[in-house]
Each structure stands twice: as structure tokens, then as C-alpha cells.
Amino acid sequence: MNQKEEPDDHTHKEIVIRPVGYIISDLKIPSLKAKGVDIEHEKDPEQTARDVKVLRDHVSELIINPELVRLLDGLEDFSHALVLYWPHLLPPEGRSITKVHPMGNKEFPLVGVFSTCSPARPNPVLLTVVKVIERKENILRVKDLDAVDGSPIIDIKPYTKHFCPVEDITVSDWMKKIQEVLSPT
């Protein structure tokens, strides 16, 4: 496979993103942490899976900066939203990790971070689909958010099947195993 180099006129040296708010969550520490050239569980993998299942019923609050409150207008009419956020507790060296064992599980193959949902990546922008519970002024209450308390919010978008169609998806065998463990039972 040939690698293409970007022409000089398409090279961007820096992109500046400002947070639009922050997250209040009962999740105080990330379940995974960057360790050397890989990621590992903060707790044992089974406890991490149990924690994720508990978070599915947990209500988090998205606190939007007061001067941006109008950006939320109408979002309460949607059942779900996409939340993009920054894993602020990821140490700078975590951004240089290129390959990981998915979910820190050494039984899974070592793969490139772009084929995982790992927070350790060059630009650690994370995405979660959440259930919208209610909106009160600049506070959006949601369920199913896996973000750590204090995480900066980058953006929020309504979730629609039209713009985010999901049909006939193929996933790796290791991802199927992760999904089995994390599925509600």
C-alpha cells in the first residue's frame, strides 16, 4: 500500500477547540489508563465490565457554558444525542501510543488505535451516544455516558438514524467478545 504525503497547502499545524461545557458524573477515574506503549485496566477487566453496565443506568449532567445555553434549544425534542468529549485525565504520553490491546486485554491482538475506541490516541476526542432525559436551562441530563467527571464537552449533536445509519456492520472477533461482555443482560 502506497502512503500519500499531504501537499503543503493541506497541512494543518494546529486546530484549536474550545470546550462548550463539562460533564458531571459519578465516574471519577477512567477504567483504562495509558501505560508505557499500551493501555491497561485501572481495575480488573471483569470489574470494568460491571462498572460499564452500571453506568448504563447512571444519569450524568452536561453543563453547558451559560453564554452558549441557546445552542441547546430544541435538543430536548430528541431521544438521543451524540456527545463528543475530551478525556482530560489522559496523560500526554498517552497521545503517542499507536497500538493497543483492545480494552487492555492481552488476549486480544495488538491493533492500531484507529481500530479501537481507546482513549489513548493522537487526538483523544471520544464519542458516546446518550439517552436524553431532560433539559433545564444550561443543564442536559443524560444516561449511558461513559465520560469521567469533569471531562470537557467538545460538541453535542442530535442522534438520527438518517445521518448515522447502522446496518450490516462487520466487526472484528475481539470486538464481538467485548460487546458480549458489555451487553445488558
Q: What is the percent of the chain with per-residue pLDDT over 70, rounded to a whole number?
A: 78
Distance CA 13, CA 32 (A): 29
Domain that holds residue 42: 17-162+171-176
Establish if 45 belongs to a structural domain: yes
Pairing of strands 152-158, 38-41: unpaired
Q: What is the average pLDDT across 54-83?
A: 92
- Give the pLDDT of residue 101: 83
Establish if 23 belongs to a structural domain: yes
Give backbone dihedrals phi and psi of 46, rounded to 5 degrees, phi first. Answer: -65, -40
Establish if 74 belongs to a structural domain: yes
Say whether pLDDT at 69 is over 90.
Answer: yes
Structural domains in the chain (count): 1
Establish if 155 belongs to a structural domain: yes
Distance CA 61, CA 25 (A): 7
pLDDT in tens, 9-62: 667 778 899 999 999 998 887 776 676 666 676 666 566 666 666 666 789 999
Say whether pLDDT at 7 is over 90.
Answer: no
Establish if 140 belongs to a structural domain: yes
Distance CA 148, CA 33 (A): 12
Percent helix, percent strand, percent coil in the chain, to nearest 5? 25, 30, 50
Q: Which triple of cell numbers denotes residue 1?
A: 500500500
- Give the pLDDT of residue 41: 63
CA atoms within 13 A on the CB side of 41: 15
CATH code where residue 88 lies: 2.40.30.70
Q: How confident is the model at residue 118 (pLDDT cuts 50, 70, 90)?
A: confident
Average pLDDT, the chain: 84
Establish if 97 belongs to a structural domain: yes
DSSP 94: G
Question: 10-14, 81-85, 120-124, 138-142: which has the minimum mean pLDDT?
Answer: 10-14
CA distances from 177 to 108, 111, 128, 159, 182 (A): 10, 15, 19, 26, 9
- Give the pLDDT of residue 107: 85
- Give the pLDDT of residue 8: 62
Establish if 36 belongs to a structural domain: yes
Decide: 19 and 64 in contact? Cβ < 8 Å: no
Establish if 53 belongs to a structural domain: yes
- Of the candidates 54, 73, 91, the residue with the CA atom closest to the CA atom of residue 156: 73
Distance CA 19, CA 106 (A): 34
- Give the list of residues 6+ apart from residue 154 with CB closer than 8 angstroms, or none: 17, 19, 20, 84, 85, 86, 125
Pairing of strands 126-136, 80-85: antiparallel
